[in-house]
Amino acid sequence: MNPIPGPIILLALPLIAAAVAYLLRRLTLLAALISTLTTGLLAALCWRLPLDRSSFVLGQEVGFGRPIVVLGQTLMLDPAGQMWLVFVFGLVAFFYLFAWRMSQGRSFFSFSLVVVALYVLVVLLQSFALATLILAISATLLVFVLQAGQPSLIRGAQRYLVITLLAVPLLLLASWFVDQSAVYFQDIEGLAGGSSAMAEVLSQAMARRALLPAALGFGLLLAAFPFGTWMPAVAAEAPPMVSAFVFTVGQSMALYLAMSFLGRVPSLLQDSTTLIVIQLAGLVMAAAGGVMAAVQRDFGRLFGYAALSDLGILLLALGSGGSQGLRLALLHGINRSVSITLVAAALAVLRHRATTDRFEALRGMGRHLPVATAGLVLGGLALAGFPFTAGFGTHWAVRLATWNWVQPFSPQAEGSVPPAMGIVPLQEWLWVLTLVALIASSLGIVVGLLRGLGAMQGDGARPDVARQPIIASLLVLGLAAFSLVLGLYPQLFLEPVSEAVRMFSLF
Amino acid sequence: MEAFAEAFSFMTGLPAIVGIILTAATIFLTSDWRLSLTALLVQYVLLGLTLSRFVQPELAIVRVLVGILAVPILYLTARRLQDARNSRQPEQGEVRFLGLPMGWGAGPLGLPLRLLAVLLVALAFIRFFPNYEALLSGLVVAGPSLPSDVTVISFWMVSMGLAGLVLSGDALRVAPALLTVLSGFEVVYAGLQTDLAVVGFIGTLTLLAALAFSYLAAVQGLGPATAPADEEATEP
């Protein structure tokens, strides 16, 4: 008997679980249990099963790395995709576990499982154009989960949908340029007298045309400045765990797509213009998110802007270049996922009990819901890169890398700008602006948190608000402890991240 | 298929191009869902006719069918919301044209501003079209180049759609604007990419996008006080 191909398991299990979870959507315990077990099992399979040989699972022979062909498309799991899916399934399993106690909308389990199956398809597909279209299709389904049936509240979901769909034409165009560069190479090489070197140069020139549409397309998908306005809107309106789903798993899939694209044109990632654009976009996002977080009047938007600012830090890590930059970006991606999940879990408890997250209505909540308050503060501080929290290690490394990047532009180092860095706009002010932006990105979030915390103080008893939920609070405490462990041991995930970077083979 | 193509061949040239330009402008200008959805439907049909000049007729028909299916999805929702909208009577003395408040005092997003936006897009078209055409001609390394009238309509549709996205907050106005942008891209992309799987997934995406917008429009209409079109609440 032939071994069962891995792609079939990875696609079929979430879809079957989605159907069952939909039928059982009124029985939250069962729906959550099925969703958590399915994604947890898939995370374990992705973590344990080898791709190069068959193995036995519950007496069945499974060929996890065995490709299948569906409608002319080859679906195959590669090592980088396998690592990525461990992260996706593992994180989603926690979301489902938490949603058992704090409802995130009845459609959350079933629809998000379908979305996860589509993410698996993005990883399995060999065609970048099709992967882009599948990611956009998943965004149309996410709209239903983001909106969660709340009357009138559509702004966040609508903006997310519009931004994601606008990225599709740009990315398809970029993909087409890259495909054409290969055709171009063969055509020129095939010409009489056409040399390989000339074909290579002309083909790379063709591939460089993909840079602008790719930068705009991935900028839209990754909510880069100025396309990130949907993040605070989503955080303000959508159930917190759904927001966390989009900010962590959803954006990680956009990042995966970006890596796949760069894997096809590695020269783009070594291009100084690309790196400068990524660095500047990240810097503006980090600063703008931090400043906006400081002036919010509710925890939802504060969460959205803090996540946006932290995403800017991730882009700064990516833009610091080379395999070290990618390693730092992926490590930061894991740390920020923990921080975002912690804030979302605490926010879910707060909204569930207090029915609002507006500062003005939270008087006395700090004392009434201490675990949720502590989770909000700790998660927020982690997003700001505060010492002893999950975000500190990578924030510090990114800040050092960014500072080293702008050092040549400072007055002390006049005339020592390496030619490879080219001409940067406003370069005489760059080091000052960078310093201000890096400080603002953290300080803004801390100020926003202090304002929220101040509003939650007060001795007034709140008989209208139920006591804090036990299981949800324990989950928040567990996440908070994990965040502190990551703060003390930031290298905890360094080995799998280094392995993932090696598997992407971009450098 | 050939009989079908022949029957409509008189429409595939200038009439289709003029029609697409007019429908894109209508979608941008009007806030009346009947008019904008009808214009969207006509636009899909004309787009199919235009595409039939340089892609296989089967692909052009698929494109038309996707549009014909997407528009009713939005129509059914809009129709259900009509009663709720009817309850909001126009203010005394408010002058409307094509469903839009006419006066300058009607707010920043009334018809005058939209007409101004059309004028600006037309000026941008005159200024930037040569660059755009050069860019598109650079796309085609091998094979026939894109006809200039196709590049004209793609530029116009994308511009009008983007302007509509910037100025609209209502789901039933954002949806036709976004679908116009995607169609404007498709008219160029169809000449470059003929992979059936890609064409099929673009069609699926269009239908699901229509469904998602339809859902958002329905939920928006369920709210206690339906925000009128073009009057998106200011963000705190």
Dump pLDDT digits (tens) for B174-210: 999 999 999 999 998 988 887 889 999 999 999 999 9
Confidence label for A406 from pLDDT (cuts 50, 70 and 90)? confident
**Cβ–Cβ gap A158/B142 under 8 Å:** no
pLDDT at residue A386 is higher than 60: yes
B chain contacts of residue A150, beta-carbon cutoff 8 Å: 219
Q: Residue A2 to residues A7, A60, A231: CA-CA distances in angstroms? A: 14, 10, 46
In a domain, A213, yes or no: no
Q: Classify the complex by whether its ipTM is higher than 0.85, answering yes or no.
A: yes
Instruction: Output the average pLDDT for chain B.
Output: 80
Residue range B131-143: mean pLDDT, rounded: 63
Burial of A231 (0-12, 13-18, 19+ CB in 10 A): buried
In a domain, A11, yes or no: yes
pTM (2 d.p.): 0.90
CA distance A440 to A432: 12
Residue range A300-328: mean pLDDT, rounded: 91
Ordered alpha helix ranges (H), A62-127: 79-101, 108-124
A206/B contact by beta carbon, under 8 A: yes
Confidence label for A366 from pLDDT (cuts 50, 70 and 90)? confident
pLDDT in tens, B45-67: 999 999 888 888 888 889 999 99
pLDDT at residue A194 is higher than 60: no
CA distance B205 to B190: 15
CA distance A428 to A335: 33
Interface of B with A (CB under 8 A): 138-139, 141-142, 165, 169, 171, 174, 178, 181-182, 185, 189, 192-193, 195, 197-198, 201-202, 204-205, 208-209, 211-213, 215-216, 219-220, 222-227, 232, 235-236
Which helix (H) or strand (E) segment holds residue A418: the answer is none
| Max CA distance (Å), chain A | 87
**DSSP assigned state of A432:** H
Tokens of A288: 């703008």
**Cβ–Cβ gap B182/A165 under 8 Å:** yes
pLDDT at residue A495 is higher than 70: yes
Are B75 and B36 in contact, with CB atoms under 8 Å apart? no
Residue range A360-380: mean pLDDT, rounded: 91
Q: State whether A309 and A455 are in the same domain.
A: yes
B chain contacts of residue A136, beta-carbon cutoff 8 Å: 205
**DSSP assigned state of A413:** G
In chain A, the residue whose alpha carbon lies closest to the alpha carbon of B209 is A140
Reported as half-sphere exposure (CB side, CA atoms, 13 A), residue A209 has a value of: 21
Between A130, A184, A297, which is nearest B198 by CB?
A130
- Which residues fall within 8 angstroms of residue A125, CB to CB, at 6 or more apart? A73, A75, A131, A134
In a domain, A157, yes or no: no
pLDDT at residue B85 is higher than 80: no
Q: Which domain holds residue A61?
A: 1-126
**DSSP assigned state of A23:** H
Confidence label for A225 from pLDDT (cuts 50, 70 and 90)? confident
Chosen for mutation from B205, B226, B235 (greatest number of chain A CBs closer than 10 Å) is: B205
Residue range A216-241: mean pLDDT, rounded: 91
In a domain, B14, yes or no: yes
**Structure-model confidence comparison of residues A323 and A46, the more confident one:** A46
Are A487 and A392 in contact, with CB atoms under 8 Å apart? yes
| pLDDT above 90 coverage of chain B, percent | 36
C-alpha closest to that of A480 among A362, A397, A352, A388: A388
pLDDT of residue B234: 37
CB atoms within 10 A of CB B42: 18
pLDDT of residue A308: 95
**Structure-model confidence comparison of residues B92 and A467, the more confident one:** A467
B chain contacts of residue A154, beta-carbon cutoff 8 Å: 171, 216, 219-220
Residue range A233-262: mean pLDDT, rounded: 94
Which helix (H) or strand (E) segment holds residue A4: the answer is strand A4-5
Q: State whether A98 and A244 are in the same domain.
A: no
A167/B contact by beta carbon, under 8 A: no
Q: State whether A286 and A422 are in the same domain.
A: yes
Between A149, A157, A165, which is nearest B178 by CB?
A165
A212/B contact by beta carbon, under 8 A: no
Are A444 and A293 in contact, with CB atoms under 8 Å apart? yes
Confidence label for A414 from pLDDT (cuts 50, 70 and 90)? low
In a domain, B129, yes or no: yes
Burial of A69 (0-12, 13-18, 19+ CB in 10 A): exposed
Instruction: Output the average pLDDT for chain A.
Output: 88
pLDDT of residue A484: 95
C-alpha closest to that of B26 among B228, B164, B181, B207: B164
Phi, psi of A70, rounded to the nearest 5 degrees:
-125, 125
Q: State whether A362 and A489 are in the same domain.
A: yes
In a domain, B86, yes or no: no
Confidence label for A189 from pLDDT (cuts 50, 70 and 90)? low
B chain contacts of residue A137, beta-carbon cutoff 8 Å: 201, 204-205, 208
**Structure-model confidence comparison of residues A299 and B100, the more confident one:** A299
A166/B contact by beta carbon, under 8 A: yes
pLDDT at residue A419 is higher than 60: no
In a domain, A182, yes or no: no
| pLDDT above 90 coverage of chain A, percent | 59
Burial of A257 (0-12, 13-18, 19+ CB in 10 A): buried
pLDDT of residue B131: 75
Structural domain ending residue among the three candidates A74, A94, A126: A126
pLDDT at residue A476 is higher than 80: yes
**Cβ–Cβ gap A137/B215 under 8 Å:** no
In a domain, A72, yes or no: yes
pLDDT of residue A422: 55
**Structure-model confidence comparison of residues B143 and A237, the more confident one:** A237
In a domain, A299, yes or no: yes
pLDDT of residue B152: 87
In a domain, B234, yes or no: no
In a domain, A322, yes or no: yes
- Which residues fall within 8 angstroms of residue A431, CB to CB, at 6 or more apart? A406, A407, A409, A410
C-alpha closest to that of A409 among A396, A400, A421, A398: A421
Q: Residue A420 to residues A255, A399, A406, A407, A423: CA-CA distances in angstroms? A: 26, 21, 13, 14, 9
Confidence label for B145 from pLDDT (cuts 50, 70 and 90)? low
**Structure-model confidence comparison of residues A186 and A151, the more confident one:** A151
Between A129, A137, A169, which is nearest B208 by CB?
A137
pLDDT of residue A417: 57
H/E/C letters for each residue in A230-287?
HHHHHHHHCCHHHHHHHHHHHHHHHHHHHHHHHHHCHHHHCCHHHHHHHHHHHHHHHH
CA distance A322 to A14: 35
pLDDT at residue B84 is higher than 90: no
State in Å, rounded, how far the first CA of chain A is from the last one. 40
Tokens of B195: 């992979």
**Cβ–Cβ gap B205/A152 under 8 Å:** no
CA distance A254 to A298: 28
Which helix (H) or strand (E) segment holds residue A449: the answer is helix A427-456
**Cβ–Cβ gap A149/B216 under 8 Å:** no
CA distance A165 to B79: 25
User: At A404, is the secondary structure helix, strand, or coil?
Assistant: helix
Confidence label for B151 from pLDDT (cuts 50, 70 and 90)? confident
Structural domain ending residue among the three candidates A77, A96, A126: A126
Residue range A253-276: mean pLDDT, rounded: 85
User: At A39, is the secondary structure helix, strand, or coil?
Assistant: helix
**How many domains does chain B contain in total?**
1
**Structure-model confidence comparison of residues A245 and A197, the more confident one:** A245
Are A144 and B219 in contact, with CB atoms under 8 Å apart? no
| pLDDT above 70 coverage of chain B, percent | 74
Q: Which domain holds residue B136?
A: 2-81+100-221
B chain contacts of residue A105, beta-carbon cutoff 8 Å: none
Average the pLDDT over each of A160-169, A198-207, A224-233, A293-302 and give the range with the smallest value: A198-207
A125/B contact by beta carbon, under 8 A: no
Closest approach of B84 to chain A, Cα-based (Å): 13
Residue range A126-154: mean pLDDT, rounded: 92
Are A46 and A81 in contact, with CB atoms under 8 Å apart? no
pLDDT of residue A410: 67
Q: Name the β-bridge partners of A138.
A: none
Positive or negative torsion for Cα A407, A409, A412, A416: positive
**Structure-model confidence comparison of residues A232 and B87, the more confident one:** A232
Q: Which residue has the tokens 């408890």?
A: A349
Structural domain ending residue among the three candidates A126, A154, A183: A126
Which helix (H) or strand (E) segment holds residue A469: the answer is none
A187/B contact by beta carbon, under 8 A: yes
C-alpha torsion angle, residues A348, A354, A356, A360 (rounded to 10): -130
Reported as half-sphere exposure (CB side, CA atoms, 13 A), residue A146 has a value of: 34
CB atoms within 10 A of CB A262: 20
Using alpha carbons only, how large is chain A's radius of gyration in Å? Answer: 23
pLDDT at residue B229 is higher than 50: no
A133/B contact by beta carbon, under 8 A: yes
Q: State whether A486 and A339 are in the same domain.
A: yes
Are A170 and A216 in contact, with CB atoms under 8 Å apart? yes
C-alpha closest to that of A227 among A151, A178, A164: A164
DSSP secondary structure, A177-216, as one string: HHHHHHHHHHHHHHSTT--HHHHHHHHHHHHHTTHHHHHH
A chain contacts of residue B232, beta-carbon cutoff 8 Å: 155
Closest approach of B6 to chain A, Cα-based (Å): 31
B chain contacts of residue A177, beta-carbon cutoff 8 Å: 139
**How many domains does chain A contain in total?**
2
Residue range A217-225: mean pLDDT, rounded: 90
In a domain, A503, yes or no: no
Helix pair angle (A211-221, A155-190), 10° resolution: 160
Going by their DSSP bridges, the two strands A68-70 and A73-75 should be labelled as: antiparallel
| pLDDT above 70 coverage of chain A, percent | 92
